[in-house]
Amino acid sequence: MVSMKDISKACGVSVATVSKALNNHSDIGEETKRIIRQKAKEMGYSPNLSARALKTNKTYGIGVLFVDEANSGLTHDYFASVLDSFKRMSEKYGYDITFINGSKNRRDRMTYLAHSRYRGFDGVAIACIDFDDPEVIDLLRSDIPVITIDHPFEGRIAINSDNARGMRELVEYVHHQGHRRIAYIHGAPSDVTTKRLETFYQTSKELGIKVPKEYIREAPYRNTDMSYQITQELLGLMTPPTCILYPDDFAAIGGMNAIREMGLRIPEDISVAGFDGIPLAKHLQPQLTTVQQDTEQIGVMAARELISLIERPKATAIESITIPGSLVEGKSVARI
């Protein structure tokens, strides 16, 4: 196995200089770093992670806890995009990502906190999970650096999409298009759902839109079957809505299928809109009106804040950071 001593002999520099070059210290020149790194690559050098961990008291490992209600895993378009951005940014800082086992069916499984300690994670990112789960709360209250995504928790950094602003812009746009009978199929209870639903009611009130209780329905996120069924029920009302808002773009597909099977046209007969801005929304016919969440920036900011918390705990502010999205008008909301 090639050592730093071997590289130092090949380059004619001290072992200390090799160490500084490989660890990107600022007190040696860029050209020296380049030469040493190139030589290390040619010689097939790889760092001893165990020795590195002993020296720095860090494993350079980050745990990710991600268990969504539909068990869709990394096929969950929104969070898959967030976590991909998070992974890429973490790797730029030299950290590896490991998923924490979320299945509770195994007899030998550890709690989330025990798993994190066993793996020696320097920090943990938590996204799309039941934040009322006692195991999650134990992890959040531990001494391990933790950040949450789309859920605030006292004493922890939270990276949030601006769900309130997104919903406000969506309702205002639909209202501007002439719609006054607007139904909203919201997701299962969560902090995200609460913000969107509160903003829907508040914006509707400010715009003078009356919202009958039968226009507000609940369905799990990303559940096309439920959105299909509820869409049929909404359109079967004595006074049906002229526009239906869905909990997310994926769920909207179920609603659009129901509309077409009823012999109706989108948006001529009934308008629809989603939320998330997943790539698929751009390819639906008609193109779906939605709120594009900035998954790239959410992932980048989550990685930066967590690594800052790991490396500079006293200098990192514990705060809730909100990332704005943008309205994509699409062609699924008619002007009436």
Q: Which two tokens stand for residue 29?
A: 């020149």
pLDDT of residue 50: 52
Angle at 138 between CA 133 and CA 143, to 5 degrees: 150
Homologous superfamily of 61-160+296-323 in CATH?
A: Response regulator (3.40.50.2300)
Q: Which residue type does 92 have? A: K
Say if residue 262's pLDDT is above 70.
yes
Spatial contact of 222 and 248, defined as CB atoms under 8 Å apart: yes
Q: Which two tokens stand for residue 76?
A: 């969950």
Rounded to whole angstroms, the Cα distance separating 284 from 323 reads: 26
Which helix H or strand E contains 327, and what residues bound it? strand 326-328
Among the residue ranges 43-47, 200-204, 229-233, 277-281, the one predicted with the least confidence is 43-47
pLDDT the model gives residue 54: 52
pLDDT in tens, 62-108: 999 987 655 555 667 888 899 999 999 999 988 999 998 766 666 66
Nearest residue to 164 via CA among 184, 131, 192, 190: 192
What per-residue confidence (pLDDT) applies to 321? 97
Domain coordinates of the chain in residue numbers?
A: 4-47, 61-160+296-323, 163-293
pLDDT for res 106:
64
Quote the pLDDT of residue 183: 98
Q: Output the six-digit token pair for 54.
A: 């002993």
Fold of 163-293: Rossmann fold (3.40.50)
Identify which has the larger pLDDT, 169 or 104: 169
> What is the CB-side half-sphere exposure of residue 238 using CA atoms within 13 A?
1
How does pLDDT run across 228-261, given as a tens digit for each residue? Answer: 999 999 999 999 999 999 999 999 999 999 999 9
Alpha helix segments (H runs only) across the chain? 4-11, 15-22, 30-42, 49-56, 77-92, 112-119, 134-140, 163-176, 191-206, 224-235, 249-261, 295-311
List for the chain the helix, strand, coil content (%; round to 5). 45, 15, 40
Radius of gyration of the chain from its Cα atoms, rounded to whole angstroms: 25
Question: Which range has the worst mean pLDDT, 35-39, 156-160, 230-234?
Answer: 35-39
Q: pTM for the complete prediction?
A: 0.81
Separation of alpha carbons 227 and 250, rounded Å: 10
Looking at residue 220, its pLDDT comes to 93
Which SS3 state, helix, strand or coil, does residue 58 take?
Answer: coil
Instruction: Give me the pLDDT at residue 25, please.
Output: 76
Compute the distance between CA of residue 77 and CA of residue 187 in angstroms, rounded to an integer: 16
Q: Is 163-293 in the same CATH topology as 61-160+296-323?
A: yes
pLDDT digits (tens, 9 = 90+) for 48-60: 655 555 555 678 9
Q: What is the pLDDT of residue 59?
A: 84
Q: Which amino acid is at 85?
A: S
Distance CA 336, CA 29 (A): 66
> Pairing relation of β-strands 123-127 and 96-99?
unpaired
CA 33 to chain centre: 36
